[in-house]
Amino acid sequence: MVKYVVIGLNAVENFIQDRFAQSVEFDEGKALLAFLRGEVGNVKIGSEYLIFEKDGGVFIDSVAGNLSEKFLVIDLEQSQILAQADNDSLFSFQKLLRFAKKLWSGLSLTYSERMIPGSSKAILFPYRYKPQPYRIVIEREPWSDRLLKREQGGNWLLAYKAGHESGDANREEAELTNFRKAFENISFAKREFLEIVSLQTGRPKSSSGMAILNLEDRGQFQGSLHRRYEDWIPLLTAKQSEFVSTPFDQPARIEGAAGTGKTLSLILKVIHALRAADAAKREFHAVFVTHSDATRLAIEEVASVVDKDGFSSRDRAVDQQSLKICTLSELCNTVLRTSISESELIDRDAMESKETQLLYISEAFDAVMRDSFDSHSRFLSQDFAKGLKDRDAWKTVEMLQHEISVLIKGRAGENLDTYKKLPSLSYGLDQKNDADKGFVFTVFRKYQEFLRDAGQFDTDDVVLSAIGQLDTPIWRRRRLRDGYDAVLIDETHLFNINELHMFHYFTREEGPYPIAYSVDRSQAVGDRGWNTKEIDYSISPADSSAGTYSARIETVFRSSPEIVNLAFSIVSSGATLFTNFDNPLVNAASGFTEEEERLARDPAYIEVPNEGALIDAAFERAEILHKELGCPRSDILIVSLDGNLVKELSDKAADSNKPYVLLERRGDQKLIETARATGRLVIGHADYVGGLEFAAVILVGVDDGRVPPVDHANDLSSKNFLTYVSHNRLYVAVSRAKYRVEFLGEQARGPSKIIEPAIKAGLISMD
């Protein structure tokens, strides 16, 4: 058993900068932990580390010009820091190293790092969001009389205690048995280290296993997906790379929170398979299906960098391997040779279509209320009818839109009888009986009339007519020739069940289906009434016996630890309120290195006197963050959950000649590139920011009464619906940020209830 670990300052600096030492999802992180715990001896944790073991003590250092002069001793026997769960142990270890470095260099401390006044102790709270905080206690002047005599005062730190109890750090004395051994053995360790160094020629090279990523290496690509396949492969976590390399012989699901690298893993997986087929001179055609046209363009862009063999520009008719990147309706169009032109098609991810749809539904609802409500009303359930009459009509319209897209079109295939048989959504329009559903369906029929008059189709129309053609003997024969060897689906949670049912028809053979897909259910807005099992089942109907291979990834690469904690608090509060709200962040941790963390700050809530000031403050903060982070303006997102505020923001920017772009489609990477090229800020509604990433995110109007919007009719179903939706939107918006999140709210309203738990837990600082 390892009783204590002594780590020199140079090694501390290496560990905290080393991407692979941040998470146990990397083999190196796992190996490091196992080594420190004494579970494995002689493990290779990277050639830049010098290691010496003696009498239950492990000494680690590395060379930066010289050997270190300062040392952190972790008394593992007393503190049991590494006896926690694997990811918590490594996380605490990393936090402790960062804290040690700060203490030595006199850097300013954060809320979770404290000096105890009048004593030589310091306390670190590695996880702030846990209700009873876990703490690690550090003695800054261990064995001080002895050390001072040896002129070693200030060079040694001792972490001797950890746990949930708050002792009296002022009075207690650290037990020094292990520390004394450490101190006495350091000269042996140094001698050994010098010997190793002199045996090596020059400075140790960057390690094979634990390469250190420095900022220059990452250069302009930092945080983006734009790297070549070869460069990505060594950076992957064990779970990511297993997912990437498993063959396409069964369905494979990758699940993880926002920013864990799901999209990346899917792209690498398909390139991996294409390359293998190319090497084996085997025919292999894959299709990567995206939810919308905007995300298709973004994926095409990334693929053009990752895939230097150009599989995505090859032609299936001539080449043995090819990759097609398209939307589902394009896939239906090409395979089934039907044709609906883009202009006829409603893009569900576009602001314009959503608004048009809402307007049509609103007109349909008004018409049905006016002409038919009286005849329906005596059959309707009391609460449902009351809701229709009393609730703000616009809120009903939003709920109707959700109901139509998720249930009527998404699951019932626009069939009234099927719709009546389906269970109602738990958090949506509260229909109790068939008459209630009949009423909703009447509104839907009216809405369709409007749509038909306007000569427009939505993707559901394409999908429904395609299903008819796919389930036929003709297609069964053709699929051997025209089907695909692999189907990849990104953002599976955004498709509806009808659409999910289609994918398996496009594979070359029937079951087990070679389909790989990524899911984060809490990014889909509103209750969808499904769980991961149902998604699996829809993608790969039960007759395929193989089951689904699944990978759950937990390291968030996009966001700082502070932002991951905040996102965790938001989804946890969703999961407490709603039985079917998924929390993808259980066990998640940020994979940020210390260098990246330096740009990060605690999320902040800033109060302003009134609504006008909200808009001004948003632009002021954007300008300040742009300067502070030294990033282009296009790396700052100003977002709101409230459509009116988004409009005010863009009006203000236009009036005052501020350079900006307005997101009008979800995941519009092309627009972001335009913004980058021309130095513009990005403004958008939370519904259109999914799939993107920014250095800083400013959320405007996250105050009480606005998020979620109040309902004066005090109607439970609309309240539930709006609260559910607000959780989804906040999570998506917050998880776009790498380093900074700022909330702006009106003083008189106070912060939104949804972020209150995060404020109470100290995850958001109030100005």
Ligand X SMILES: Nc1ncnc2c1ncn2[C@@H]1O[C@H](COP(=O)(O)OP(=O)(O)OP(=O)(O)O)[C@@H](O)[C@H]1O
Which spans of this chain sit near ligand X (rule: CB under 6 A)? 223-225, 235-237, 240, 256, 258-264, 520, 557-558, 691, 693, 735
Minimum Å distance from CB 494 to ligand X? 11
For residue 79, which of 162, 13, 195, 202 has the smallest C-alpha distance?
Answer: 162
Residue 262 counted as an annotated binding residue: yes
Minimum Å distance from CB 295 to ligand X? 9
Minimum Å distance from CB 145 to ligand X? 47
Minimum Å distance from CB 264 to ligand X? 4
CB closer to ligand X, 366 vs 673: 673
For residue 18, which of 235, 212, 229 has the smallest C-alpha distance?
Answer: 212
Q: Strand pairing of 457-458 and 765-766?
A: unpaired
For residue 160, which of 289, 335, 5 has the smallest C-alpha distance?
Answer: 5
- Phi, psi for residue 406 in degrees, rounded to 5: -80, -50
How far is residue 493's CA from residue 252's CA, in Å, rounded to a whole number? 15
CB closer to ligand X, 302 vs 364: 302
How far is residue 183's CA from residue 57's CA, in Å, rounded to a whole number? 11
Which tokens in the block code for residue 523?
Answer: 């990014």
Return the residue nearest ligand X (CB atom): 261
Residue 118 counted as an annotated binding residue: no
How far is residue 598's CA from residue 16's CA, in Å, rounded to a whole number? 11
Residue 574 counted as an annotated binding residue: no
CB closer to ligand X, 70 vs 493: 493
How far is residue 558's CA from residue 184's CA, in Å, rounded to a whole number? 43
CB closer to ligand X, 470 vs 524: 524
Minimum Å distance from CB 738 to ligand X? 8
Residue 438 counted as an annotated binding residue: no
Minimum Å distance from CB 761 to ligand X? 23
CB closer to ligand X, 312 vs 333: 312
How far is residue 600's CA from residue 597's CA, in Å, rounded to a whole number? 5
The backbone region for 160, taken as left when phi is positive above 0, alpha when psi lies in -120 to 50, beta otherwise, is alpha
Residue 612 CA to its chain's centroid (Å):
32
CB closer to ligand X, 90 vs 258: 258
Minimum Å distance from CB 305 to ligand X? 12
Burial class (CB in 10 A: 0-12, 13-18, 19+), 66: exposed
For residue 14, which of 46, 43, 44 has the smallest C-alpha distance?
Answer: 46
CB closer to ligand X, 166 vs 224: 224
CB closer to ligand X, 186 vs 257: 257
How far is residue 314's CA from residue 271's CA, in Å, rounded to a whole number? 13
Residue 684 counted as an annotated binding residue: no
Residue 758 counted as an annotated binding residue: no
Residue 276 counted as an annotated binding residue: no
Minimum Å distance from CB 104 to ligand X? 28
How far is residue 682's CA from residue 3's CA, in Å, rounded to a whole number? 53
For residue 368, which of 279, 445, 312 has the smallest C-alpha distance?
Answer: 445
Residue 682 CA to its chain's centroid (Å):
20
Sequence-separated (6 or more) residues with CB below 8 Å from residue 27: 20, 238
Residue numbers belonging to the annotated binding site: 256-263
